[in-house]
Amino acid sequence: MIMMKWGYATIALALTSVSLAQTGSTAVSGQANIFGYGVSTPAPAGGGGGVLAPVVTLDAGVGRILTVVGTGRVAYFNGASPIGADGETYASTIIGTGPISGVGPLSIRGGIFGVFVEDGDVSGLTAPANFAQGSLSAASYAPGLRQVFFIGNGFSDAGMTMQQEFLVPDGAAKLVFGVTDAFDWNGDIGFYGDNSGDYAVDYTVTGVVPEPASMIALGVGALALVRRRRASK
């Protein structure tokens, strides 16, 4: 009888662990304004607000983890040396706009950034505090909803052997990829108009898909156990 009981439990647990693996690729224009999500026209301090940043619709799940491979180069003003996907060292603090946070203080300029957003109209929401990202070579990060975070090339080491993990906040329905820009990389957003070149990202989101059917199976399994237990008494 014990073997039978364990059999039920094993089946039920297996059904609740359907894994999620969402992958895709997108180009990220050097003018893709990471702060522009949720507002029709980001108000720049000058130099242009850029273009809409690409948005990925995330599959539903729990315990979701994002990994990214970022490439490409972007020049941030006419005649500037392009900056790679992993950015370069520079002190930057940029004020956000609308429902999206700013960034910084960070020791990086250029490179690929991301932000997780909930479903629906977020235009009336207040921006959260800037994400305190600290070290840019940590193994994992846990940004909140609408907190802009640095992704870079997605690796923590120069040899690009260790992929960083970005924990997807519960309630996130979308992932936006883009770039930051401001006069001298500090203050109000702006100066997207003179950017040229593109980044590109390959992204993967893993996790567990909650399945109503498996929850029913679990309930049926538990009920069966109760009945067997009662019958054996």
Binding site for Ca ion (CB under 5 A): 76-77, 181, 191, 194-195
CB nearer Ca ion, residue 35 or residue 191: 191
Closest approach, Cβ 71 to Ca ion, in A, equals: 20
Are 179 and 193 in contact by the 8 Å Cβ rule? The answer is: no
Closest approach, Cβ 31 to Ca ion, in A, equals: 9
- Comparing every residue's Cβ against Ca ion, the nearest one is 191
* Spatial CA neighbour of 144 closest among 121, 163, 125: 125
Closest approach, Cβ 50 to Ca ion, in A, equals: 9
CB nearer Ca ion, residue 76 or residue 199: 76
Sign of CA dihedral 140, 145, 148, 153: positive
Two structure tokens written together for 152: 């870079």
Closest approach, Cβ 78 to Ca ion, in A, equals: 9
CB nearer Ca ion, residue 194 or residue 211: 194
Closest approach, Cβ 199 to Ca ion, in A, equals: 14
CB nearer Ca ion, residue 122 or residue 182: 182
For 16-44, give one letter per residue: b (16+ CB within 10 A) or e. eeeebebeeebebbbbbbbbbbbbeebeb
Q: Dihedral (C-alpha) 122, 124, 125, 130: value to the nearest 10 degrees? A: 90
CB nearer Ca ion, residue 68 or residue 83: 83
Are 91 and 107 in contact by the 8 Å Cβ rule? The answer is: yes
